[in-house]
């Protein structure tokens, strides 16, 4: 799978660890920054990852900031992106199964306290159910066209 990943300064260290894990699993990873721990603006990285996901250049995206919320808000402004903050195995599973989430947002502040490896595995392996959920995702997609 092709994955775009980005983080601000607060997510910089976690991003490096995630890249290593994803590459070990055989994914192709595009690191869209930040490339150091100097203060940076999370909307820049959310936009970069969002554009690659929304255009189909990559299959999925991962974003990390302090809370995960800022990058989530910013990424969802990009057409074609369905971003959400996941904090446990259940939210990771349901974000894929019911919402076809294509950008996973993580909190650098809590990443050490959650089963990140398991959460990522669930997020990558859980398929979108479709059915009634496809109708709802399509309604979200149509909102982008207005």
Q: Per residue in 77-113, pLDDT tens?
A: 999 999 999 999 999 999 999 999 999 999 999 988 8
145: pLDDT confidence band, cut at 50, 70 and 90?
Answer: confident
CATH, residue 25: 3.40.1400.10
Domain count, the chain: 1
DSSP result, 52-110: HHHHTSSSEEEEEESSSHHHHHHHTTSTT--EEE--SHHHHHHHHHTT---EEEEETTT
- Domain with 50, as residue range(s), is 2-144
Catalytic residues: 65, 98
DSSP result, 12-54: HHHHHHHHHHHHHTT-EEEE-S--SSS---HHHHHHHHHHHHH
Q: Per residue in 11-54, pLDDT tens?
A: 999 999 999 999 999 999 999 999 999 999 999 999 999 999 99
114: pLDDT confidence band, cut at 50, 70 and 90?
Answer: confident
């Amino acid at each position: 799978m092709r994955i775009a990943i980005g983080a601000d300064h607060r997510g910089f260290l976690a991003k490096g660890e995630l890249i290593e894990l994803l590459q070990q699993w055989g994914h192709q990873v595009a690191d869209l920054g930040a490339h150091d721990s100097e203060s940076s603006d999370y909307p820049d990285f959310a936009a970069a990852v969002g554009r690659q996901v929304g255009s189909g250049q990559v299959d999925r995206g991962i974003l990390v900031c302090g809370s995960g919320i800022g990058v989530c808000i910013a990424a969802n402004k990009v057409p074609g992106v369905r971003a959400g903050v996941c904090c446990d195995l259940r939210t990771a599973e349901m974000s894929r199964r019911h919402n076809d989430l294509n950008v996973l947002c993580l909190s650098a502040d809590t990443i050490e306290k959650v089963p990140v490896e398991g959460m990522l595995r669930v997020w990558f392996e859980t398929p979108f159910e479709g059915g009634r959920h496809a109708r709802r995702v399509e309604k979200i997609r149509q909102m982008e066209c207005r």
